[in-house]
A and B are shown apart, each in its own frame.
Chain A
Amino acid sequence: MTQKKTDLLQGTLDLLVLKTLAQGPQHGYGIAQKILVMSREVLEVQQGSLYPALHRLEKKGMVSSEWKESEAGRMAKIYSLTKAGRQHLAQEMEQWQRYTSAINWVLEG
Chain B
Amino acid sequence: MRLPWQKAETELEREIRYHLESLAAEYELQGLSRKEAEQQARKVFGGVESVKEECRDLRWWRWAADGVQDLRYGWRMIRKTPSISVAAVVSLALGIGATSAILTLAHTLLWSDLCVKAPQQLDEVLWISQDHAGGMVRSTSGSMYQDGALRVADFFSRAAIGAMQQRTAGKAQIAGHIGGELVSSSVNGKVSVVRLRGVTGNFFAVVGARQAAGRLLQHADDTPSSVPVLVVTHRFADRTWGSDSAAVGRTLRVNNTTYEIVGVLAAEFGGLIPGDTTDLYVPLEQTPALRQPDSFARQHGDSPTTWWIQVLARRAPATTQVELQRLLDTAFASSWTVPPTKVEATPHIRVQSAARGLGSIRHDLGNPMWMLLSLVALVLVVDCANIANLLLARAARRQKEVALRLSLGCSRGRLIRQFLTESLLLASIGAALSLPVAIAAGQLMTTLLGSQGAGMTLSMQPHLSTFLITGAIAIATAVLFGLYPAFRASQVQTVPALKEGSGSAGTRSRQLWAPAKMLVFGQTTLGVLLVASAILFTGKLMALVNQDTGFNRDHVLLFDVRPGEVGHEGEALRNFYFNAEQRLRDLPGVEAVGLAQTRPMRGGGSWTGVKGPGQARPSQTAEHRSNAGFLDSMSIPLAAGRAITPQEARGGLKVAVLSEDLARDMGLSPALGAHVTVEGGETYQVVGIARAARYHSMSETAPVLYLPFDYNSSSATFVVRTSIPPSDAFFAIQQVFQGLSRDLPLVDVYTMEQQISRTLQKERLFAWLCGSFGVLALVLCAVGLYGLMSNITERRTAEVGIRMALGASRQAVMKQVIGEGMLLVAGGVVVGLPAAWVVARFAIAEGFLAKEVAYSEPIALAAGVLLAASALAVLAPSVRAASVDPMRALREG
Contact = CB atoms under 8 A, between A and B. Distances in A.
Answer whether A and B are interacting partners: yes
Interface of A: 27-29, 32, 46-49, 51-52, 55-56, 59, 67, 72, 74-77
B55 A55 contact: yes
B322 interface: no
B51 A29 contact: no
B45 A46 contact: yes
Interface string B1-34: 0000000000110111011001100000000000
A76 B18 contact: yes
Contacts of B820: none
B58 A55 contact: yes
A29 B23 CA distance: 8
B18 A29 contact: yes
B302 interface: no
B44 interface: yes
B46 A48 contact: yes
On chain B, which size bracket covers the interface?
Answer: 20 to 34
Contacts of A27: 18
A72 B22 CA distance: 9
A2 B54 CA distance: 32
B62 to A, nearest CB: 11
Contacts of A75: 14
A49 B18 contact: no
25 contacts: A28-B19, A29-B22, A29-B23, A46-B44, A47-B19, A47-B23, A47-B44, A48-B16, A48-B45, A48-B50, A48-B51, A49-B46, A51-B15, A51-B16, A51-B51, A51-B54, A52-B58, A55-B58, A56-B58, A59-B58, A72-B22, A75-B14, A76-B18, A77-B11, A77-B15
A95 B44 CA distance: 31
Nearest to B49: A48
Contacts of A49: 46, 51, 54
Contacts of B11: 67, 77
Nearest to A28: B19
B852 to A, nearest CB: 78
B38 to A, nearest CB: 14
Contacts of B54: 49, 51-52
B48 interface: yes
A48 B11 CA distance: 15
B142 interface: no
Given A46-B46, A74-B18, 6 more contacts: A47-B19, A48-B16, A48-B45, A48-B47, A51-B51, A77-B11
Contact of B46 (A47, A74, A76): A47
B60 to A, nearest CB: 8
Contacts of A55: 55, 58
Nearest to A77: B15
A28 B46 contact: no
Contact of A48 (B14, B48, B57): B48
A25 B19 CA distance: 16
**Which of B11, B15, B51 is the most central at the interface, judged by chain A CB atoms within 10 Å of its CB?**
B15
Contacts of A74: 18
A48 B19 CA distance: 9
Contacts of B23: 29, 47
A76 B11 CA distance: 10
Interface of B: 11-12, 14-16, 18-19, 22-23, 44-48, 50-51, 54-55, 57-58
For the complex of A and B, the 10 pairs showing the least CB-CB separation, nearest first, are A46-B46, A48-B46, A52-B54, A48-B51, A29-B22, A48-B45, A29-B19, A55-B58, A47-B45, A77-B15
Contacts of B58: 52, 55-56, 59
Contacts, number: 54
A49 B47 CA distance: 9
A76 B18 CA distance: 7
A11 B11 CA distance: 26
A47 B47 CA distance: 10
A48 B12 CA distance: 12
Nearest to B51: A48
**Which of B14, B22, B46, B50 is the most central at the interface, judged by chain A CB atoms within 10 Å of its CB?**
B22
A46 B44 CA distance: 6
B9 to A, nearest CB: 13
Nearest to A59: B58
A106 B387 CA distance: 63
Contacts of B12: 51
A45 B18 CA distance: 18
A106 B58 CA distance: 38
B12 to A, nearest CB: 8
Contacts of B50: 48
A29 B280 CA distance: 89
Given A29-B23, A46-B45, A51 B18 contact: no
Nearest to A58: B58
Contacts of A67: 11
Nearest to A47: B45
A32 B46 contact: no
Contacts of A32: 19
A29 B15 CA distance: 9
**Which of B44, B46, B57, B58 is the most central at the interface, judged by chain A CB atoms within 10 Å of its CB?**
B58
A30 to B, nearest CB: 9
A13 B12 CA distance: 20
Contacts of B46: 46-49
Contacts of A77: 11, 14-15, 18
A20 to B, nearest CB: 15
Nearest to B18: A76
Contacts of B47: 48
B259 to A, nearest CB: 80
Contacts of B22: 29, 72
Contacts of B19: 28-29, 32, 47-48, 51
Nearest to B16: A51
B787 to A, nearest CB: 43
A21 to B, nearest CB: 16
A29 B58 CA distance: 20
A72 B18 CA distance: 11
A14 to B, nearest CB: 13
A2 to B, nearest CB: 17
Given A29-B22, A47-B23, A52 B15 contact: no
**Which of B12, B16, B19, B55 is the most central at the interface, judged by chain A CB atoms within 10 Å of its CB?**
B19
A32 B48 CA distance: 15
Nearest to B22: A29
A59 B50 CA distance: 19
A108 to B, nearest CB: 35
Contacts of A51: 12, 15-16, 19, 51, 54-55
Contact of A52 (B14, B48, B55): B55
A28 B45 contact: no
A51 B58 CA distance: 11
A28 B17 CA distance: 11
A46 B45 CA distance: 6
B48 A28 contact: no
Contacts of A47: 19, 23, 44-46
A32 B23 CA distance: 10
Contacts of B57: 52
A107 B775 CA distance: 80
Contacts of A29: 18-19, 22-23
A51 B19 CA distance: 10
A77 B22 CA distance: 13
Nearest to B19: A29
A4 B51 CA distance: 25
Contacts of B44: 46-47
A77 B14 CA distance: 9
B483 to A, nearest CB: 28
A56 B56 CA distance: 10
Contacts of B55: 51-52, 55
A28 B15 contact: yes
Contacts of A52: 51, 54-55, 57-58
A47 B48 CA distance: 10
A56 B58 CA distance: 7
**Which of A28, A47, A59 is the most central at the interface, judged by chain B CB atoms within 10 Å of its CB?**
A47
Contacts of A76: 15, 18
